[in-house]
Amino acid sequence: PCQNSGTCRCAAGGFNCPCPRNFTGETSPNLSTSVCDSNPCQHSGICTASSTGYSCSCDFPWNGDTCSDLSTVMIVIIIVCILVILGGLFMVWLFGYYRHRKVQSGSSVKDKSQGQEAVEMQTGSPCSGKTTP
């Protein structure tokens, strides 16, 4: 009369069924949910009792026996996002760096040509004494 692999034992006045693990009731017909009472599944995983213990049904991106392991796919996505952000920041810095260098180099050339004109005015034009019609 014992169910779910329960072992029937003769007793005074009848029998008894010591229930296998995770089963309850007089003849062990009921699956005990006590293994799930402690909420072994993390990150909103759903616990399902079984004759061998429990199993967890995990939501993405979690997996593993208790939904505590981050899936490899999610780890790759996180790494790619970080690399894209760092690449973007590097491009912004590089653009600013070259723009700043271009502005500095343009003003240097301008300053040098203005300096040359100032020197020519102080010392006289290379064409002094020559007249142009």
pLDDT for 129 equals 57
Question: Any bridge partners for residue 31, and if so which?
Answer: 23
1 contacts: CB under 8 Å, gap ≥ 6: 8, 15, 17, 27
At which residue do the structure tokens 């004494």 appear? Answer: 129
What pLDDT is attached to residue 48? Answer: 87
Residue type, 2: C
Query: How many angstroms separate the CA atoms of 104 and 17, rounded?
Result: 91
The pLDDT of residue 105 = 72
Residue-level pLDDT at 58: 93
pLDDT, residue 49, reads: 81
Q: Which of 18, 20, 40 is nearest to 32 (CA)?
A: 20
Note the pLDDT of residue 90.
Answer: 94
pLDDT at 25: 61
pLDDT along the chain (133 residues), means of 10: 66 68 57 73 89 86 91 88 95 88 65 54 56 56
Tokens of 15: 């029998």
pLDDT of residue 103: 74
